[in-house]
A and B are shown apart, each in its own frame.
Chain A
Amino acid sequence: MSLEINGVRAAFGGLVALDDVSLTAEPGAVTALIGPNGAGKTTLFNVISGLVPPERGSARLDGTELIGRSARQVARLGVARSFQELRLFGGVSVQEQTMFAAERSVLTRSRESRARATEILDRLGLSAARRSLAADLGYGQQKAVSIARMLAMNGRAWLLDEQAAGLAPREYELFCEVVAEAKDRGLIILLIEHNLRLVKDLADVVVFLDRGRELVTGTAHEVFSNELVRSLYFGERD
């Protein structure tokens, strides 16, 4: 059981966003995607989650091909993702949108989804805010709501797009705990991060992308000490 991405190429007109990207994300491990802006990290997430059709390549979750399926189908196969811009339901209460994420169809019993939402909101320290509209919350709490929805989906793979950026220290710690718990449950975790401390702390595998190409893969230590990465990403020259 793993998420295998093979030879994915995606282009917007003449701009090649992903050029033959391959990587494997193992269950019970955190795979971090790093790279400068425009490297194609979010595009890769969009390809996996069915929002952007690639020109070619494959993405398999436990051997099931995800490419060619709709975003809805990919989500139902167990891929939960967050967005950099969060895409919360601003005019819907925190509890209701978490319940919604827990429901597979309108036939799901409200009692079950409510119990699950309550449990998740307690874990994320959102109980007091459960009746608030997502739009009325602060940034850190909005990010927690995004995580709440992912937890509620009960998926097998998580795609986290800069979820730790802009968090206060306590929120940051909570985020790390939740990711570690998900890792212990054997989830496949793929995350995009610019926060190198987080990458060092959490990532088992680091993949460095630059201009649509996957250049270096290894442990955090290996990737951070790679000369190519140092020159392209950290801007160091000798």
Chain B
Amino acid sequence: MLEYLATVGTLTGIFAIAAAGLNITLGYAGVFSAAQAVFVGIGAYVTALLGPQVGGSLIICAVAAAGCSVAVAMVLALTSLRVSDEYFMVASLAFQIMVSTVFTGWYSVTKGTDGISGIPYPRLLGTELSTPETQSRLIWVVAALVVALTAVLRRGSVGRLFLAIREDPVATQTLGRSPTLGKYVAIVLGAAVSSLGGVLYAFYIGFINSAAFDYSLSIQLTAIVIVGGIGWSLGPVVGSAIVVAAVPLISLLDLPSTTVGPLEQLIYGALIIAAVGVRGYIPSAVVLRERWAARAGGARPWRRAHGPVVKP
């Protein structure tokens, strides 16, 4: 039981990393991509194929996975950004199905649904992480780094561009900026981050097959981002804790095994609808922070005061 919980806890971290990528694309820039599982899959396959060749070097696998994902994301972005939002969603879903077919059908490389096993333990700075505990620690460190990086991204000039695009592409243009370029960057950046989740997934499980990266993973990642709080940097962790850790607990119920899978999908769908439905009723993080600041007399001790105002 304890082992089961540890596994679930680690998977929560992995899915949080994968969802953090989608949070950049969907949460910040508002680009509804239904193909995020593609990039997790690329990360996992790169690791499964390249990992044994490089002695399980985490850095090499991560860089290669990010590189491949960026290349594929550029194709998705180039071919699809000519169309507007709803159509992009459909186009990205088609892209997801196409790549899933490649994962399943390109047997000589991916071994399709049979999958690839024998993925080595990850090696970082000359140390082999051979126990689940050390890998779990690694995964949560990476998750924390990814959350911190997306938070920094969100607060900087890139984050402001992404949010502007999400809120109003026309106003973004009349303020002198390019929504197309911003969306492009958001898709590519999100793909690179999600691929890291795939790398860590392949190392941790030690076995991958094509079924793990089909459209249902894309739906699951979307559910994580939306349920966790769309556009909030910690959202993917919260969402993952609910979707990956809490929902699978239904398998502990005395249900026939064939109903568990469909029931999970049903719950994801219900959670997305519920999260969208209660939006606007639950105060956002910004509002809560504001109220807290107002109660504290406007003083925010941990933050530096603004520098001197430059007069023109």
Please list the residues of chain A having a beta carbon within 8 angstroms of any beta carbon in chain B.
49-51, 70-72, 74-76, 80-81, 83, 87-93, 96-97, 99-101, 103-108, 110-111, 113-116, 118-119, 122, 131-133, 136, 149, 153
Q: Do B167 and A92 touch across chains, with their CB atoms under 8 A apart?
A: yes
Q: How far is the CB of B182 from chain A (nearest CB, A)?
A: 9
- B311 within 8 Å of A (CB atoms): yes
A132 to B294, CA, bound (A): 12
Name the residue of chain B whose CB is nearest to the CB of A71.
B173
Q: Do B156 and A88 touch across chains, with their CB atoms under 8 A apart?
A: no
Give the contacts of B272-312 with A (CB-CB under 8 A).
Answer: 284, 286-287, 289-290, 293, 306-307, 309-312
Q: Do B306 and A72 touch across chains, with their CB atoms under 8 A apart?
A: no
A118 to B157, CA, bound (A): 16
Q: How far is the CB of B167 from chain A (nearest CB, A)?
A: 4
Q: Do A153 and B163 touch across chains, with their CB atoms under 8 A apart?
A: no
Q: Do A106 and B161 touch across chains, with their CB atoms under 8 A apart?
A: yes
Could you pull out 30 A-B pairs where Cβ atoms are within 8 angstroms?
Answer: A51-B174, A70-B173, A72-B176, A75-B173, A83-B171, A87-B171, A87-B174, A89-B164, A90-B167, A92-B160, A93-B286, A96-B163, A99-B160, A100-B157, A100-B161, A100-B163, A100-B164, A101-B175, A106-B157, A106-B161, A108-B157, A110-B157, A111-B307, A119-B311, A122-B309, A131-B289, A133-B287, A136-B287, A153-B175, A153-B176
**Which of the four size classes fits the interface of chain B?**
20 to 34
Q: Do A87 and B157 touch across chains, with their CB atoms under 8 A apart?
A: no
Chain A residue numbers with a CB within 8 Å of B167 are 88-92
Q: How far is the CB of B168 from chain A (nearest CB, A)?
A: 5
Contact of A107 with B176 at beta-carbon distance under 8 Å, contacts A87-B168, A96-B163, A119-B311 already known: no
A75 to B174, CA, bound (A): 6
Contact of A113 with B157 at beta-carbon distance under 8 Å, contacts A75-B174, A75-B175, A93-B286 already known: yes
- B158 within 8 Å of A (CB atoms): yes
Q: Do B174 and A49 touch across chains, with their CB atoms under 8 A apart?
A: yes
- B170 within 8 Å of A (CB atoms): yes
Which of A76, A103, A113 has the largest number of chain B CB atoms within 10 A?
A103
Q: How far is the CB of B152 from chain A (nearest CB, A)?
A: 11
Contact of A72 with B168 at beta-carbon distance under 8 Å, contacts A131-B286, A131-B290, A133-B286 already known: no
- B123 within 8 Å of A (CB atoms): no
A115 to B156, CA, bound (A): 14
Chain A residue numbers with a CB within 8 Å of B306 are 114-115, 118
A175 to B158, CA, bound (A): 31
- B177 within 8 Å of A (CB atoms): yes
- B178 within 8 Å of A (CB atoms): yes
Chain B residue numbers with a CB within 8 Å of A107 are 157
Q: How far is the CB of B206 from chain A (nearest CB, A)?
A: 40
- B166 within 8 Å of A (CB atoms): yes
Chain A residue numbers with a CB within 8 Å of B158 are 106
Which of B163, B287, B293, B311 has the largest number of chain A CB atoms within 10 A?
B163
A99 to B231, CA, bound (A): 19
A193 to B296, CA, bound (A): 43
Q: How far is the CB of B304 from chain A (nearest CB, A)?
A: 11
A71 to B156, CA, bound (A): 24
